[in-house]
Amino acid sequence: MRVIAITSDQGEVIEPDWLMRSERVHRQLRPQLPADYAVRLQEVFAAGARMAVVVDSDDVVSVTIWRVVENTYEGRRLYVDDLVSDESRRSHGAGRMLLNWLEAKARTLGCDVLALDSGVQRTRAHRFYFREGMFISAYCFKKALS
Protein backbone atom coordinates (compact mmCIF):
# COMPACT_ATOMS: atom_id res chain seq x y z
CA MET A 1 0.00 0.00 0.00
CA ARG A 2 1.10 3.55 -0.63
CA VAL A 3 -0.25 7.10 -0.24
CA ILE A 4 -0.82 9.21 -3.35
CA ALA A 5 -1.49 12.95 -3.15
CA ILE A 6 -4.30 13.66 -5.62
CA THR A 7 -3.88 17.45 -5.43
CA SER A 8 -0.89 19.73 -5.23
CA ASP A 9 -0.44 22.13 -2.34
CA GLN A 10 -2.10 24.73 -4.58
CA GLY A 11 -5.21 22.56 -5.02
CA GLU A 12 -4.57 21.51 -8.61
CA VAL A 13 -5.58 17.94 -9.42
CA ILE A 14 -2.34 16.22 -10.33
CA GLU A 15 -3.69 12.64 -10.41
CA PRO A 16 -7.07 12.83 -12.20
CA ASP A 17 -7.31 9.07 -12.70
CA TRP A 18 -6.98 8.43 -8.96
CA LEU A 19 -9.50 11.20 -8.25
CA MET A 20 -12.15 9.39 -10.29
CA ARG A 21 -11.17 6.01 -8.83
CA SER A 22 -11.59 7.35 -5.29
CA GLU A 23 -15.25 8.25 -5.76
CA ARG A 24 -16.60 4.79 -4.84
CA VAL A 25 -14.81 4.77 -1.47
CA HIS A 26 -15.49 8.45 -0.75
CA ARG A 27 -19.23 7.92 -1.30
CA GLN A 28 -19.22 5.30 1.46
CA LEU A 29 -18.82 8.24 3.85
CA ARG A 30 -20.52 10.94 1.76
CA PRO A 31 -23.32 9.33 -0.29
CA GLN A 32 -24.96 12.75 -0.69
CA LEU A 33 -22.18 14.03 -2.96
CA PRO A 34 -23.68 15.14 -6.30
CA ALA A 35 -23.50 13.06 -9.47
CA ASP A 36 -20.89 15.49 -10.88
CA TYR A 37 -18.34 14.34 -8.27
CA ALA A 38 -15.26 15.78 -9.99
CA VAL A 39 -16.89 19.20 -10.45
CA ARG A 40 -17.93 19.31 -6.78
CA LEU A 41 -14.47 18.32 -5.61
CA GLN A 42 -12.89 21.01 -7.79
CA GLU A 43 -15.06 23.55 -5.91
CA VAL A 44 -13.90 22.09 -2.59
CA PHE A 45 -10.26 22.21 -3.73
CA ALA A 46 -10.69 25.83 -4.86
CA ALA A 47 -11.77 26.63 -1.28
CA GLY A 48 -8.48 25.27 0.09
CA ALA A 49 -9.05 21.53 0.50
CA ARG A 50 -6.58 18.88 -0.63
CA MET A 51 -6.95 15.14 -1.25
CA ALA A 52 -4.86 12.02 -0.79
CA VAL A 53 -5.61 8.32 -1.10
CA VAL A 54 -4.12 5.01 -0.05
CA VAL A 55 -3.89 2.56 -2.92
CA ASP A 56 -3.22 -1.15 -2.91
CA SER A 57 -2.19 -2.25 -6.40
CA ASP A 58 -4.86 -0.62 -8.55
CA ASP A 59 -7.48 -0.20 -5.81
CA VAL A 60 -8.22 2.93 -3.78
CA VAL A 61 -8.70 1.66 -0.23
CA SER A 62 -8.76 4.91 1.78
CA VAL A 63 -9.53 8.57 1.02
CA THR A 64 -8.93 11.83 2.86
CA ILE A 65 -9.91 15.42 2.20
CA TRP A 66 -7.94 17.90 4.32
CA ARG A 67 -7.06 21.58 4.62
CA VAL A 68 -4.89 23.92 6.71
CA VAL A 69 -6.81 26.40 8.85
CA GLU A 70 -5.57 29.19 11.11
CA ASN A 71 -7.71 29.98 14.15
CA THR A 72 -7.44 31.84 17.44
CA TYR A 73 -7.68 28.91 19.83
CA GLU A 74 -5.27 26.38 18.30
CA GLY A 75 -3.11 28.29 15.87
CA ARG A 76 -2.34 26.44 12.65
CA ARG A 77 -4.28 23.19 12.29
CA LEU A 78 -4.48 20.53 9.65
CA TYR A 79 -8.21 19.81 9.58
CA VAL A 80 -9.50 16.58 8.10
CA ASP A 81 -12.85 17.02 6.35
CA ASP A 82 -13.15 13.34 5.40
CA LEU A 83 -11.27 10.17 6.26
CA VAL A 84 -12.76 6.91 5.04
CA SER A 85 -11.52 3.42 4.28
CA ASP A 86 -13.34 0.99 2.03
CA GLU A 87 -15.79 -0.96 4.19
CA SER A 88 -14.55 -4.25 2.77
CA ARG A 89 -10.89 -3.36 3.55
CA ARG A 90 -11.11 -1.88 7.06
CA SER A 91 -8.70 -2.98 9.79
CA HIS A 92 -5.93 -3.71 7.30
CA GLY A 93 -3.80 -0.63 8.02
CA ALA A 94 -4.89 1.79 5.28
CA GLY A 95 -6.61 4.20 7.67
CA ARG A 96 -3.60 4.19 9.98
CA MET A 97 -1.29 4.77 7.02
CA LEU A 98 -3.34 7.76 5.89
CA LEU A 99 -3.61 9.20 9.40
CA ASN A 100 0.19 8.87 9.81
CA TRP A 101 0.65 10.59 6.43
CA LEU A 102 -1.66 13.42 7.54
CA GLU A 103 0.29 13.85 10.78
CA ALA A 104 3.59 14.00 8.90
CA LYS A 105 2.07 16.50 6.44
CA ALA A 106 0.82 18.62 9.36
CA ARG A 107 4.29 18.68 10.89
CA THR A 108 5.86 19.60 7.54
CA LEU A 109 3.39 22.47 7.16
CA GLY A 110 4.14 23.81 10.66
CA CYS A 111 0.76 22.89 12.11
CA ASP A 112 0.17 22.81 15.86
CA VAL A 113 -2.77 20.40 15.71
CA LEU A 114 -4.22 17.60 13.60
CA ALA A 115 -8.01 17.69 14.00
CA LEU A 116 -11.19 16.19 12.63
CA ASP A 117 -14.89 15.95 13.45
CA SER A 118 -16.65 12.59 13.46
CA GLY A 119 -20.39 11.99 13.48
CA VAL A 120 -21.69 10.75 16.82
CA GLN A 121 -23.01 7.58 15.18
CA ARG A 122 -19.57 6.46 13.94
CA THR A 123 -18.52 4.42 16.97
CA ARG A 124 -16.13 2.17 15.02
CA ALA A 125 -14.33 5.24 13.71
CA HIS A 126 -14.15 6.69 17.22
CA ARG A 127 -12.47 3.53 18.55
CA PHE A 128 -9.92 3.88 15.75
CA TYR A 129 -9.24 7.56 16.52
CA PHE A 130 -8.83 6.87 20.25
CA ARG A 131 -6.48 3.99 19.46
CA GLU A 132 -4.43 6.38 17.29
CA GLY A 133 -3.95 8.83 20.17
CA MET A 134 -6.70 11.31 19.34
CA PHE A 135 -9.08 12.65 21.99
CA ILE A 136 -12.33 14.58 22.20
CA SER A 137 -11.47 18.22 22.85
CA ALA A 138 -14.80 19.99 22.33
CA TYR A 139 -18.41 19.67 21.28
CA CYS A 140 -19.25 20.81 17.77
CA PHE A 141 -22.52 22.77 17.49
CA LYS A 142 -24.24 23.66 14.26
CA LYS A 143 -27.45 25.12 12.94
CA ALA A 144 -28.84 24.26 9.53
CA LEU A 145 -29.49 27.41 7.46
CA SER A 146 -31.60 25.87 4.71
Q: What is the pLDDT of residues 113-122, one digit of tens each?
A: 999 877 777 8
Check residue 46 and give its pLDDT: 93
For residue 127, pLDDT over 80 is answered with yes
Domain ranges of the chain: 2-131
Q: What is the pLDDT of residues 27-85, one digit of tens each?
A: 999 999 999 999 999 999 999 999 999 999 989 999 999 999 999 989 999 999 999 99
For residue 81, give the nearest of 26, 3, 132, 37 by alpha carbon: 26
Of residues 132 and 50, more confidence is placed in 50
Check residue 135 and give its pLDDT: 85
For residue 97, pLDDT over 90 is answered with yes
The CATH architecture annotation of domain 2-131 reads: 3-Layer(aba) Sandwich (3.40)
Check residue 77 and give its pLDDT: 95
Q: Which residues pair with 44 in a beta bridge?
A: none
Check residue 142 and give its pLDDT: 83
Of residues 142 and 25, more confidence is placed in 25
E-only strand ranges, the chain: 2-5, 50-56, 59-71, 75-85, 113-116
